[in-house]
Amino acid sequence: NAGVTQTPKFRILKIGQSMTLQCAQDMNHNYMYWYRQDPGMGLKLIYYSVGAGITDKGEVPNGYNVSRSTTEDFPLRLELAAPSQTSVYFCASSYRGGGTNSPLHFGNGTRLTVT
């Protein structure tokens, strides 16, 4: 049971380039999330999804896009990379979503540097 798998682990982008961060889970979880972690700033929610075909913005969605065509996959797209997007990105999933005893399961992160 792999849990939440994120690829790639590391990436360096030039300003203006695009890329997709991949996230897949094999736990049949309905709810999936993307967070970014900046030094001293904790984890900020970028986007989340409550099921296939349904996505919604979190605290810091600008500069990102997501899609959820299947239950298993929740890719995060950066269209025009900027230095402010240098961060560690974490994907997470849960069975029931917030407000219930259903904690988030996290992947090991993607470290992205934009120069």
Partner 1 sequence: DQQVKQNSPSLSVQEGRISILNCDYTNSMFDYFLWYKKYPAEGPTFLISISSIKDKNEDGRFTVFLNKSAKHLSLHIVPSQPGDSAVYFCAAIPSGTYKYIFGTGTRLKVLA
Q: What is the binding site for partner 1 (CB under 8 A)?
A: 4, 31, 33, 35, 40-45, 48, 50, 58-59, 90, 92, 97-101, 103-109
Question: What is the sign, positive or negative, of the torsion defined by CA atoms of 95, 90, 5, 75?
Answer: positive
- Shortest approach of partner 1 to residue 80 CB, angstroms? 26
Nearer to partner 1, 14 or 40 (CB): 40
Nearer to partner 1, 16 or 103 (CB): 103
Q: Nearest Cα to 50, choosing from 1, 93, 105, 111? A: 93
Q: In b/e form, how buried is each residue of 53-89, taking b as 16+ CB within 10 angstroms? A: eebeebebbeebebbbeebbebbbebeebeeebbbbb
- Shortest approach of partner 1 to residue 31 CB, angstroms? 6
- Shortest approach of partner 1 to residue 70 CB, angstroms? 19
Nearer to partner 1, 104 or 112 (CB): 104
Q: Residue 89: in which H helix or E strand, if any?
A: strand 87-94
Nearer to partner 1, 14 or 100 (CB): 100
